[in-house]
Each structure stands twice: as C-alpha cells, then as structure tokens.
Amino acid sequence: MASETLAKTQATAADLDACAREPIQAPGQIQPQGNLLVLSGADLTIIQAAIGSSSAFSVQDVLNHPLRDALASWLALVPERIGKASFEDGPCHLGSYYGGQEGYHAIAHRAGPNIILELETIEPGEPGSLDELYPSLTALLSGAQVNQSLEELGALAAQEVRRITQFDRVLIYRFDEDWNGTVIAEDRNEVLPSYLDLRFPATDIPAQARELYRLNRLRLIADANYRPVPLEPGLDPVTGQRNDLSFATLRSVSPIHLEYMRNMGTGASMSISLLRQGQLWGLISCHNKAPRRVPYHVRTACDFIGQFLSLQFAGREQAILAEQRIALRSVQARLLASMAAADPFMVSLVKERADMLALTDATGAAIVFGGECRLLGETPAEPEVRRLADWLNDQRPDEIVVTDHLAGVLPDFASIKDTASGVLAVPISQVHSAYVLWFRPEVIRTVSWGGSPRKAVDIESGRIHPRQSFEVWKEAVSMRSRPWGEAEIEAAEHLRSAIVDIVLRKAEELAGMAEQLLRSNKELEAFSYSVSHDLRAPFRHIVGYAELLKQYEGAKLSERGHRYIGTIIESAISAGTLVDNLLSFSQMGRATLNKMTIDMDRLVEELRRKLDLDLAERAVEWRIDALPEAYGDPVMIRLVMQNLLENAVKFSAGRDPAIIRVGTRVQGDVVTYFVQDNGAGFDMAYVGKLFGVFQRLHRSEDFEGTGIGLANVKRIVEHRHGGRVWAEGAIDQGATIFFSLPRRENMS
C-alpha cells in the first residue's frame, strides 16, 4: 500500500511538472473552425498548414506553394494586404471574403521570421461590421457612472457582453496577489449556476496560461469537444521547431483545459483579458452550456469592452488610491514636523502615538533603534519584537517587509497572531538592527471557493486530470490580518525616508565633530611631541652637571649639600623618564602600523627571561598558558605585553611567592589575552581612571611610575588596533588586565 501511495505521489509530481512545461503557446494544432497557414519568405510560401473541417481545399493543395498561387481567386487580395500590413501592434484583420457558399475572415500576424495567416470561417447571419454593434457599445459607455463601484461597473459590462454574445453566463473575475481569482460581478440565465463571490484557486489558471492572457487579450473555445487539426508538417521545416501561436485566434488549447471545461459543464467559453499597466488584473469569462461560435466582429466589440473596462477599473482604483494618499499626507506632515523639532526622533514618534498608528491603519507599532525598543498600541512583548527585528536584520536587512500572514513566513511567530498576524516593517539603518514596525491582529474570515482548492487535480492511470467538483466549498481563513494597502505601504516608505534623512544628517554632524576632534588631537600630539623632545636635553644636562658637581666639588659640600644634590639628580631622572614616556605616548598616535602575525608564546617568553634577570632575589611563579598568534604591529604589541608584565611584577612585590599568570580566551572573531597577578590590586570603583594619562591608583611612595604605561596600552590596543582593554581587581587580591584583538580575517 505504501509503495502504491509513493508511486502515485511521484506520478503526480512528474505529471504536474509536465503540465507546467506544456507548450500551450505552440501546440502544433488548431481548432477546426478555420484554416491556419504559416508563410515564409518574400513570396509568402506556405511551409505549414492546418485545414479545418469545413474547408474546400486540403493541405496537399497549398503546401510549399506561394500564397498567391494557392488561394482561390476571391481571396486574391489577401497576399497584397499582407504586404502592406504593419504587424507592430499585433494581429491585423485583412478583410472579410466571400466565394459562393464559402466565406472567411482573414487575420494575420508575425511570428518570428514567419507570417501566420488565419482564415476563420464566416457563420451565416453574423454581423458584417462593428457598426452593427455600435448601439450596444454606446449603451455601456453611457451607463458607466463615475461614482460606480468596481462591482457595479463589472455587472454592467457583464450584462452587455452577454447580450451581444448570447452566452449563458458572463463573469467578471479578479486576481489577488496569489493569483487566486474571485468573481466580483456576473450576468447569467438559469442554464448555468451562479459563481458570484466565489473564489477559484490559482492552479485553475497556471502561470503560463496567465502569460498568454496578458499577451493575447481574447481567446475563444467554440466547442469543448472539438477534434484538433494538426499543422502539417508538425515542425517548421526551416527552424525545426514548433511555431509560436500565442496570437492565433484558432490556436488549440490544452486537453486538460478542455476536460476542465467539461467538468464545469460548459461546452464553449471565451475569455477577455483585463489589464492594468500592462499586467493581468482579471478576466471577463464567458460560458455556454452548448457549443457556441462568436463571430469576429462580436469578439472585436467584446475586446473593446474589455479595454474600456480595464481603463475604468484602473481609473477607479487610482482614484481610491489618490483619496487614501491625500488622507495620509496630513498624518505624514504632522509626524515630520514633530520629528524635525525633536531630538532624538524616537521621542516624537512615541509622543505622536495616534498618528503613528493612523499612518498605516495599524493597531500597534514598535521602534527599534540604538538599543532601545519603544512599543505603541497593541503589540507583541518586547522580546518578541526584538527577535523579529533580529530576524529581519539577518535575512532582509535592506528590504521593506510586508505580510498579512506572518506565521506563513515565520511559523515560530504563530503565538503572536492576536497582535501581529500582519507586519509592515521598514529598516531605518544600514548598519544596525533598526526598524519601525507596524502590526495588525488576526482576522478570521470565511472564504467561499468554487470547489475545494486542495483538490486541484486527480491522478488516474498515470495521467493528470483537472478537478471535477465545483460545488461551493467554504474555508475558514486564520493566521491572517487585513492586507496592507498600497497607500499605507507608501506612507511607511516616506516615513522611513524622513527618518533615514534625519539619521544621516546627525551622522554628518557627528562626522564633522569627529573631524574637528581628530584635527585637534593631531595638533595636541604634535605639541606634546615637540615639548617632550625639547625637554629631554635640559633634564639630561641637570643630571649630568649635578653628578659632576658631586664628583668634583663633593668634598667641599656638607652632608645637607650632598642630600640636596641627590634629590636634584633623582628628581631630574624621574622627570626625564616622564618626558620619555610622554614622547612614547605621543608617538603611538603617529607611528605607521606594520601588521603581521605575532608568535605570542615566543614574545612572552622573551619578556619573561628579561624580567627574571632583575628578579634574582624575588620568588616569582610564572603560569603561562599556550597562547594563540596575534595579528598586529609587533613593536606595539610587544610594548603592550611588556607594560602589563612589568606592572604585574611591580604590584606583586609584597607577595611571596608572586604569582603571575598569562592566559587567553578565544570567542568567535576575537582573541583575548590577559595578565593576572596576586599583588596589591585596586578598588573597582576607580577602574575608569586606570587607563588615563597620569592617573595612578597607588601612592608613588609605594610603587614608582609615571601613570602613562596603561594609557599607552589603551592607545595601542583600542585606537591603533581596533581592540578593547579592560581590568578587574580587588584591593590586596590582585588585578587582571585584559586586552582583545580582532583576528586576522577581520583585519585584512
């Protein structure tokens, strides 16, 4: 049983795929109510032909002959009119011709390098021209009122189309965004049932069929049980391909569609496309229980009605849209005025809660920006809003997201359907996860389908069959909100543009301030370098002359004089060290970086051995982990590690043993190193001062130093390498200094 089900499933998938690829635009056959000739070359040689059942000539009579020689004398004007015709606008009617009991409408169009000529049989008693139908057309034009709804206008058009075609039922059919169709108007007799207000699934009219409706506005199937007439030969002898018959009146249709018609109980059908801005909007769909021919001039009148209805529908929709835009402009103006006067802009949007919701006719809104999340009206909880913003930023960071079925896009968010079945989200930053979101709750509604949309096809004997039931089938639609309108989406986009402009303007102001600050810093660095450089020589002179004085004149000095000279030498040396450190600090901001991979194990070991030479009388226990490579300027990173190790040795001087640990942590794209000691530590209340110039947390009598070492560390790591420095400690319990660096792939 399982294998049988699997086989049917596989057959369904394969057959549906084959159906989707069916070449309906090039079927290689025609309906029998006329003849179709494929003409090639300057002499219009007939290279393919399909001859209908009522024709007086055969394929053999015309194939491979110039058109002029193949046609009867009463059709002699056809080749001449083909030569004069322009096919830029599609098929051309070349006239109506009569020869005794036989008559044809000649219709031609271009298909690639060839001309397709159709000779459609004229029915006895059909209108001889469009003039005979003019009163019906004027009735429609005069009956159309400006204040009519789409449904009222559609009902008027359906009535006029049925009156001139005599079909049993005429429907006005409108597509939604998912290509399901809804019957919005209808005119009928009692022969066929009513389909008014019913919805039909998109599978009833596949994508390739919809494309044909868009290209060719009118299609007639006169008899659902017709026997197709093949083109002979089957392939174009020049190209070896089937010719495209998209614009052919007589083009044969898919057998599946004919079966669909028979299942619907219709023996004939005609469809007139309703277009909006070149795209398929809907159809005028005509049905008859018995087979029915529709004469050429009647079809032309129906095509005119279709074009008129398309323009009317488009105009009415544009008028409705314009009214909505006008109503929202005042809301937009108030919001923009409020934002212009507020800093930050979020304050104004939160304050103008009513306008924020009215802008998109939403029940709730949220603003996620700069780490903040502000909620307005009925919204999901803040964690859910942030999670949704994060998902948007990961998946569609630059896109405006509009959905009335959030659970269909993100099933995990089904739990917030009561506040957010519909979401309209606009990004307001290209760098951070920042969004304005509007929400609409779930609206449960009942949809009446013309047959179950879940049973679009049946599989029998390995072949696809269209559905057989068109009984009303009702479905409760849940997890959906009211759809967002075009004017509402535009209003959200306009607000987004205004916010982005404000953010960019603020960014430009900050960039200008940063540029001024950078310029000031450079001037300060240059001044610091100059002063430090100029001070070094005087301090060296002081030390030098003081030592000479002590050496040559020391015998003449008292004990107090020797003490004074010692203080002078010690102070000058300390001041010189301070100047050297200041010079080094200023150079850190000016030196060119030479980044490369650094062996941190080797670097730390070299520094440890150097320090051990000065620690002969101290007990120091080194605990050094295996360290990953760093990526940076080797001279600067060496200075960082040297400062940290020297500080650890210095501030653990009172411990026996002193324990100094060098370790690391790797998290994602960042590697962190740390140096830890068990020394004097510090009060975390003053940790903010630790990395400032001349900032010391210990008395100079207890621990010597200038207060520049850790400032140098911060400048090297954060300002020059894009890393981070921080510290942890406690009084008399030691300290840990951390510094992190981006890994090489992020720096290259």
Chunk the chain into consecutive blocks of 10 residues (it has 748) and report each block's average pLDDT, rounded to whole numbers: 37 45 84 95 94 84 93 91 89 90 92 94 81 72 74 91 94 91 94 91 88 93 95 94 94 91 92 93 96 92 90 85 84 79 72 88 89 90 91 82 90 91 86 84 77 57 58 72 91 83 61 62 59 64 76 79 78 63 56 81 88 78 91 84 86 85 85 90 77 52 56 83 87 89 61
Task: Please state, in angstroms and as integers, the Cα–Cα distance from residue 71 to each residue in 58, 65, 80, 108, 200, following that order.
Answer: 11, 10, 12, 15, 45
Task: Please report, for the chain, the start and end positions of each structural domain, with discontinuous segments joined by +.
Answer: 342-484, 507-586, 592-747
pLDDT value, residue 59: 92
- Mapping DSSP to helix (H, G, I), strand (E, B) and coil, where does residue 631 land? strand
The dotted CATH code for 342-484 is: 3.30.450.270
Residue 209 tokens, joined:
């069929």
**151 SS3 class:** helix
Q: Give the pLDDT of residue 12.
A: 40
Cα–Cα distance, 582 to 584 (Å, whole number) = 5
Beta bridge partners of 466: 457
pLDDT of amino acid 232: 95
Count, residues in the chain: 748
The pLDDT of residue 118: 95
- Measure the CA–CA gap between 136 and 133, rounded to whole angstroms: 6
Assigned CATH topology for domain 592-747: Heat Shock Protein 90 (3.30.565)
The beta-carbon contacts of 50-58 under 8 Å, at least 24 apart in sequence, are: 50/229, 50/230, 50/231, 50/232, 50/250, 51/229, 52/121, 52/229, 52/250, 53/229, 54/121, 55/119, 55/121, 56/102
pLDDT score for 169: 96
Q: Which two tokens stand for residue 538?
A: 């005087």
For 143, counting Cβ atoms within 10 Å of its Cβ (0-12 exposed, 13-18 middle, 19+ buried), the class is: middle
Measured CA to CA, the distance from residue 181 to residue 336 in angstroms comes to 40
What pLDDT is stored for residue 661 in this prediction? 92
pLDDT at res. 698 = 44
CA distance 531 to 586: 11
Q: Name, in order, each residue with C-beta under 8 angstroms of 124's C-beta and a sequence gap of 6 or more.
A: none
pLDDT of residue 646: 85
Phi, psi of 377 (to 5 degrees): 70, -150
Task: State which fold the 507-586 domain adopts.
Answer: Helix Hairpins (1.10.287)
Say what the pLDDT of residue 683 is.
79
CA 566: distance to chain centroid?
76
pTM of the model: 0.62
- What is the rounded CA–CA span in Å between residue 198 and residue 92? 37
Question: Quick one: how far is CA 135 from the chain centroid?
Answer: 51
Give the list of residues 6+ apart from residue 591 with CB closer than 8 angstroms, or none: 633, 636
**Alpha-helical segments (H) within 342-457:** 345-351, 353-358, 382-395, 406-409, 417-420
CB atoms within 10 A of CB 381: 11
Q: Taking each helix axis from N to C terminus, what angle separates 634-651 and 600-612, rounded to the nearest 10 degrees?
A: 40
- Distance separating alpha carbons of residues 267 and 246, to the nearest angstrom: 22
User: What gap in Å lies between CA 171 and CA 266, rounded to an integer?
Assistant: 13
CA angle, corner 192, sides to 186 and 195, nearest 5?
Answer: 40
Candidates 243, 192, 255, 250; CA nearest to 221 is 250
- Give SS3 for 398: coil
Beta-carbon contacts of residue 607 (< 8 Å; ≥ 6 apart): 638, 641, 642, 645
What is the 3-class SS of 95-150, one letter each residue?
A: EEEEECCEEEEEEEEEECCEEEEEEEECCCCCCCCHHHHHHHHHHHHHHCCCCCCH
What pLDDT score was predicted for residue 303? 92
Location of structure tokens 């049980």? 225
Question: Both tokens of residue 717?
Answer: 């790591």
